[in-house]
Each structure stands twice: as C-alpha cells, then as structure tokens.
Amino acid sequence: MDDAISGAVETRPGLTALLSAIESKPFDVLIVSEQSRLARDTFFTLTLIKRIEEAGVRIHGYLDDSPITLAEETDEVKEFVRAWANSAERKKTGQRSRTIARRVVEAGRRAGGRLYGYADINGTPDPAQAEVVRRIFDERAAGKGLYVIARALERDGIAPVRGRGWYASQLQNIIRNTCYRGVITWGAQRRVKRKGKIVYQASPENVITKDAPQYRLVDDKTWYAANAISDQSAANTWRGKDGRLKSRATNTNGFLLSPFLACPCGSPMHAKQSGKGDKKQWLYTCTRKHLLGKKGCSHPGRGIRVEWMDKSVLKFFEEALVGHTVKAALQEVLDEQKAKAIDPKPLEAEIKKLQGEIKRLTDALASGELEDIHDAVRQRKAKLEHLQGTLSGLGAAKEFSIETFATRLAPVLADWQAHLKKSPAVAAQVLRKLIPTRIVVETKPGGGWTVRGDCDYSAILRECGYDAVTNLVNEIVAKRNRSRARRGARSTP
C-alpha cells in the first residue's frame, strides 16, 4: 500500500487514502498479497480489518487465496495469530539488522550507505566532495553561520547532498558527524514506535565508537572548533523536550529589548551610547528622534537606561509567569465570557451559510472570472475558520477545569522561567512569545517613566493543550484592544 514505508507506521499516505475512500465504498473487495501488507502491529491490524469490514468492504489475500476477516470467532483467533507473528517477525528483523550493523562498526567500517565526501562505503574519498566537506568545517570553525555557508555553496554552484539546495540541517549533520575526523559513532539513536509513529530516541547506553583513520577528512582541531561554534549556537536556542525549536531566534543586536520597545510617537527604540568618559551609558532611545531630532519626535527625554529597563521587564515577566498569576488572568477571561453568555446558534447559522457560499463558488469555478472567485473563496474560508475557532472555544470554556489546567501549567511555566533567565539571546525568544506588540515607554512630566504593554498567554495555553480556549482568549483580548483604541481616539483633541 505504501512503498518504502514500514507497516508498523499507522499514518501512511496510502493507508490514509484507503480509509478515506472506503467511506463512500467505491469498491467491494480489497485485494492484498497477505495480512502483513495492511499493517505489522498486532492490535492495530485487527482494528484496521474490523474498520474495513464495517465499511462493507471484503479483504482477500491472493498469496494463500483466502479471505482476511473477523466474521467468525475462529477467524478472530486466526487473524490474531497472523498479526502477532507478523509483528514478532518485524521486531526480529530489526534486532538482526542492529546486530549486523554492530558487527560492521566493531570491524572498523561504517554501517549504512555511502556518506557525503566518500566514493564508497569503505572510506575512499571523493576528491570534489571531500574538498567541500573541508570547506564547510573551515568556514564553520571561523565562526560563519550555517545559512551563510549554505548560500555561499549555492552561489559557487556546488551540488548539495540531496535536493535542490543546501540546508542548515544538512550542514549541521556533516559538522556533527565524527566519521570526518576518523571515528565511527554508532547507536546514539534508535528507532522506536510511539502512538503509531516511528520516532528516534537517544540511546547513550548502546553507543559504540571505533577509530577508523581511513575515513578522516579533517583534523581534530578543525572538527572540535567547528562543533564548538555549533554548541554555542545551540546554547542560545529554546527547545522542547523533543528537541524542536519553541521560538525562532530574535536579533537583538546585543541588547535584549531592542525588538520590543516603542516610543509614544510610534517609532521603535534602539540602544545608543550617551555621555563621555566615566559617564558613558547605554540608553534605549527613540529611533525617529535620533535620526530627525525634535521634528521627528516631540516627546521629552533622551532615553531610558538599558540596564534599568532590561531588569524591570525581566522582573515583570518572571512574576507574570507565576502559576497563580496566569490562572487568575485566564479565569478573568473565562468569567467574562460566561457573563456574556454568548449564544452559539447564530455562529452555527453563520458557519452553515458560509459553507453553502463556498460550495456555490467552488461549483462556479468552471466559468466566470476565476481570480475573483478564488479571492471570494479565500475570504470566506478565512472567516469560516475564525468562526469555527470561536465556536470551539465556547464549548471548551464551559468544560474548562482550572484545577486540571494548573496541573498541566506547572512544568510549562517552570521551563519558560528557566529559559527567561538563561541568557539574553534565549530570554529574547521567550519574550517574543509573550509580547504581542511593542512595549510603549513614555517619560513622565515630573520625572520617571510609564511603561505600557500587553502580555499574551496564548502560547502557554497551546503548549498546555488548550488550543480551543486560546481562540476564545484571542477573541476577547482583540475586543479589549479595539475598545482601548476607540477610547484613545475619543480622548485625542
């Protein structure tokens, strides 16, 4: 059903297409070579057979010319034994493969296919590719970023490992590979099945390292220097337990709040050195005023001390990431929603209306102005998605348990707080998630400063698994912001 994809994987494209197709029953019989072609997990196989049969489709195996069915009790036993045998064979095959690979590594050879930089699996260098590998290590050791290295390779017309272009992940895999310094490392990760998917997990207890000087392309000094740069870069990222990035890198130009501050005139603020000699200090100042003087910005003040502002904002968000603070903020939003008692029926009617309009527009694509129709469909789909999100949020709010939320919240907040204190680069990534718009910094007439801004908890809600509630929170916060903007417009002379 799916070429080159293990039957242990439950979310295979071909299988997904089959399950979607049988809903309308376009055929009566599904023909497969044997039961293992459906799946190779005992209980999933039986569930799959049952689902296909309940859709009114019979399954037939042509190798033994027999039906695959759970119709009778004896059939259930027969198919269970088959499924168990297929699952056991898959596991034994994996064990045999790992045993053979281990022996290959212990003999001083790489297990697996040909590695970039070599002409064969035995370590014979490919002259052109080996030179590219050395270039990558030299440039990384010199401090260049992976993106810069990748673009330079493309400009020079150097073919990538695979695909059409060079990617940071390809370069990082090359830099991290110990084979290029003449040491084979095997077993650092192993494939395991979780929730129907094949994932990779670390297995440090199974790691084998073996000196293999025939594979060396770079010296130890260059290899370690390049990896030190990658280690430093990794230390400045915010990743979850699964290793995925939780926030993109934020360019702060060396100053934590440069991307997040704004002057009341609407201009961003940047860090600027002011004063002379011992009185030199860094200030966050209005960029428009710096460039155009008082003509650009008439607000008073030269700026606010960088260390004061950084300390104040970090302290605020450390306190904002305390469990009872987040719970109180969310409870306030939910209470507001319950007090308004939004009736879901008008939303449901509007959703039904939009679905009908989208269907009619889609049917009309065969004639008329195609671009106009496409635009109309896109607009209605966007509105439909928004209404569905709001409707799901209403139901989630009714069933919301603040106690369950508090249990899920504690470890998430601990992680956010720890990374907020880790380093300026990582702290900026955390702030990127929490600050939806720039913080406005204004000088008070009698001295001091007023700081105004919003704190957005939606990313924390999503990480806790409350996506539906997030839609509702965003809707209410947006209404508050619009109301605040109208009040501000009325107070302006």
Pairing of β 281-286 and β 197-202 = unpaired
pLDDT tens track for 145-199: 899 999 999 999 999 988 889 998 899 999 999 999 999 988 777 666 666 566 6
pLDDT tens track for 264-303: 999 999 999 988 888 889 999 999 999 999 889 988 888 8
Please indicate whether residue 169 or residue 472 has the higher confidence score (pLDDT): 169
**pLDDT value at 339 more than 80:** no
Contact present, 49 and 38 (Cβ < 8 Å): yes
pLDDT, the chain, mean: 79
Architecture of domain 127-235: Alpha-Beta Complex (3.90)
Contact present, 259 and 433 (Cβ < 8 Å): no
Whole-angstrom distance, CA of residue 149 vs CA of residue 139: 7
Whole-angstrom distance, CA of residue 180 vs CA of residue 166: 19
Average pLDDT on 327-347 reads: 59
Q: pTM for the complete prediction?
A: 0.55
Residues 6+ apart with CB under 8 A from 378: none
Tokens of 200: 């990779």
Give the start-to-end residue ranges of the domains of the chain.
13-106, 127-235, 320-491
Please indicate whether residue 2 or residue 433 has the higher confidence score (pLDDT): 433
Amino acid at 60: H
Strand partners, 239: 245
Pairing of β 281-286 and β 269-274 = antiparallel
Distances (CA, A) of 128 to 131, 183, 398: 5, 21, 64
3-state secondary structure of 111: coil
**pLDDT value at 349 more than 60:** yes
Amino acid at 157: G
* Equal CATH topology for 13-106 and 127-235: no
Please indicate whether residue 229 or residue 412 has the higher confidence score (pLDDT): 229
Contact present, 188 and 103 (Cβ < 8 Å): no
Looking at 3.40.50.1390, 3.40.109.10, 3.30.1380.10, 3.40.190.10, the CATH number of the domain 13-106 comes to 3.40.50.1390
The torsion angle over the Cα atoms of residues 58, 59, 63 and 65, rounded to 10 degrees, is -20
pLDDT for position 181: 93
pLDDT for position 92: 81
- Encode burial over 123-150: b for 16+ CB neighbours within 10 A, e otherwise: bebbeebbebbbebbebbbeeeebeebb
Please indicate whether residue 25 or residue 428 has the higher confidence score (pLDDT): 428
Contact present, 383 and 331 (Cβ < 8 Å): no
**pLDDT value at 253 more than 60:** yes
List, as one string, the DSSP characters of 350-373: HHHHHHHHHHHHHHGGGSS-HHHH
Average pLDDT on 435-446 reads: 87
Radius of gyration of the chain (CA): 30
pLDDT for position 487: 44
**pLDDT value at 326 more than 70:** no
pLDDT for position 492: 32
pLDDT for position 103: 86
